[in-house]
Amino acid sequence: MRGDLTDAYTVRTALDGIDTVFLIWPLLDTAPAEPLIAELAAAAPRVIYLSSTAIDDASARQSDPIVQVHADMERRLRDAGLNPTVLRSDTLASNTRGWAAQLRAGDVVEGPDIAHTAVVDERDVAASAAEVLLRCQDDSDRTYRLTGPEPLSRADQVAILGAALGRNLRFEPVPVDVAHARMLADGRPEHLVEALLAASTRRPESRLVTDDVERLTGMPARPFAQWAIDHSTEFGRRP
């Protein structure tokens, strides 16, 4: 069914007869989540929340607005007594699709640089979520950290994608002000642009690699090279 996550009636209707909820919060502010969380608390389903590995549990303030909203949502869900199972995902490989237009036009990817992270295949995140949703054991108040098999920089990702495409690609970082202007010109909302650029400039490098994907699904996390091969036609390669 379609609805508005910030509308209590919509949420209440959607929760009728539901015992398990997989929650992805799409906004950069958690205040609008209050009606949703109140309805979840009243219905008391099992909640699985998709979050971020970039959260620093030792810090009250996170590195950037995107990580902050995930940390705030985790806290709000726990404060409501929902004891969620949390799937903290690393950078999704599918974010690479944002380079498709540049790679159809040439061999250079330009954009703001980011620190190394263990890029994770979104199919592994989906499979992990499905396993948690369908399993019988109680994972309440447990956190899983879903990562790929190795930390990668943006330059690493571009080179790996180039190998899959049979092209010599390179990544060229651009200054924040240039990236800001280009992202606004692409039609992205300013608050989203600010959040994305804050993530690229403030988020620290992460060398975290876990085996949580394998422990949940029984299969090791896919390397980014496999994602690049499987999605190469999206970037101009013929099947």
pLDDT of residue 138: 77
At 232, list the tokens. Answer: 């190469």
* Maximum CA extent, the chain: 55
Question: Is a pLDDT exceeding 50 seen at residue 222?
Answer: yes
Residue 113 token pair: 């640089």
Mean pLDDT of the chain: 94
Phi, psi torsion values for 109, nearest 5 degrees: -105, 120
Tokens of 220: 């090791």
Break the chain into its structural domains and give their ranges. 8-235
| Pairing verdict, β 85-89 and 170-173 | unpaired
Is the confidence at residue 131, as pLDDT, over 60? yes
Helix axis angle for 190-202 and 65-79, nearest 10°, is: 100
Residue 239 predicted with pLDDT over 50: no
In sequence order, the β-bridge partners of residue 4 are: none
> pLDDT at position 1, please?
81
Domain 8-235 maps to which CATH number in 2.60.40.1170, 3.40.50.720, 3.30.70.260, 3.20.10.10?
A: 3.40.50.720
With a cut of 60, say whether residue 224 has pLDDT above it: yes
Residue 238 has pLDDT above 60, yes or no: no
DSSP 61: S
**Residue 140 confidence (pLDDT):** 83
Tokens of 94: 């599918």
Helix (H) / strand (E) element for 85: namely: strand 85-89
Token pair 């202007």 is at which residue? 181
Tokens coding 120: 């994770």
What is the distance of C-alpha 130 from the center of its chain?
16
pLDDT of 22 strictly over 90: yes
Which pLDDT value is given to residue 186? 85
The closest of 105, 98, 32, 123 to 69, measured between CA atoms, is 32
pLDDT at 127 (0 to 100) = 98
Mean pLDDT in residue range 144-173: 97
Per residue in 54-102, pLDDT (tens digit) is 999 999 899 999 999 999 999 999 999 999 999 999 999 999 999 999 9
Please compute the mean of the pLDDT values over residues 11-40 and round it to a whole number: 96
The confidence band for 237, taking pLDDT boundaries of 50, 70 and 90, is low
Question: What is the β-pairing status of strands 108-111 and 143-146?
Answer: unpaired
Contact 109, 95 (CB under 8 A): no
- In SS3 terms, 102-128 reads as HHHHCCEEEECCCCCECCECHHHHHHH
